[in-house]
Amino acid sequence: MSALFTPIEIAGTTFDNRIAVAPMCQYSGHDGCASDWHLTHLGMLANSGAGLVVVEATHVERRGRITHGCLGLYSDACEDALARVVAHCRRIGTARLGVQLAHAGRKASSQRPWEGGRALAADQDPWPTEAASALPFGDGWHTPREMTEADMERVIAAFAQAATRAVRIGFDAIELHAAHGYLIHSFLSAVSNQRRDAYGGSRENRMRFPLAVAQAVRAAVPRTVALGARITGSDWLDDGIDAQEAIVFARALKDTGYDYVDVSSGGLTATARNPTTPGYNVPLAEAVRHATGLVTRAVGLIVDPKQADAIVADGQADMVALARAMLDDPHWGWHAARALGAEVRRPPQYLRAGPGLWAPAGRGA
């Protein structure tokens, strides 16, 4: 039996298989509200064959969005719009649904990628940014304001409120975005956090605000909902986060009552460069999994079904997450099941394209 297509239970919820669709920003919202694009995009991925589809980074404050087009969960309008999309996916799809709660920090107030992906210019309706320290993401980026304790309390409350909204919508999984250079990550890394107070310096101090956010979200989320975090396994920078620091943070999340982690890397500065080898984060995920015992998801250039199956079968991670591979092939899970001799649930309207009913379905992936 394929390891990739065995069910997994997290926080009392069973996921059909070990495949997740990673959260992928679409930059297509309206003042944080999901649009018809999300209805189509997520509805398509809900039938990808994945056991879990995670909605893109969904920001807890209007000022915490990356771009003008990013999703939020900071108003009744945002909640209603996302609830509409989730209800649609439940009606037509087979996957469990998750959401990633985020705050962009010093990477906020930027252009959509197809507009240039730089900091918003003065004539593009920019907004002030904030972060652990007053250090810009890179040359030409806005210099953020160093957050005060009052700012931190405001953001903690915003995360808790967004989590409450996510619970009301009915997500099966909720996760914090603590990677890719966004607000929580900017506190965790010594490269971006150069504070001299109780929130900077030592590793314990740098984790203080992130763990306060994690605790507030844990308090807002019932134990019947899978709660996790995307963390960074490496900044790929001198003096940055490495696998050992990732393990320490993951252990702290486990002690806070978190059920899983998704191990990614990079994105802390404009000059940081990730490796480009397939599955480059897998060793980081494996180190975290073995050291903490947490359910662990690996992500990063995982494309081939046999590669994904081996990651789970060899105990390197409990789940794998795919992003661009799913955009390229929205039925990746169906084709992976065919290649690995497994089965996935399909909507009845598509059964005629399943094994035994259509000749190409009997071929390899």
Active site residues: 182
Name residues whose C-beta falls within 8 Å of residue 221's C-beta, 6 or more positions apart in sequence: 163, 166, 167, 174, 227
Q: Please tell me what DSSP assigns to residue 105.
A: G
Give the number of other CB atoms < 10 A from CB of residue 89. Answer: 23
CA geometry: angle 166, 235, 144, nearest 5 deg: 65
Q: Where are the beta strands (DSSP E) in 50-202?
A: 52-59, 71-72, 96-102, 130-131, 145-146, 173-178
Alpha carbon distance 263, 302 (integer Å): 13
**Amino acid, res. 209:** F
CA geometry: angle 317, 193, 123, nearest 5 deg: 100
Structure tokens at 234: 């490496």
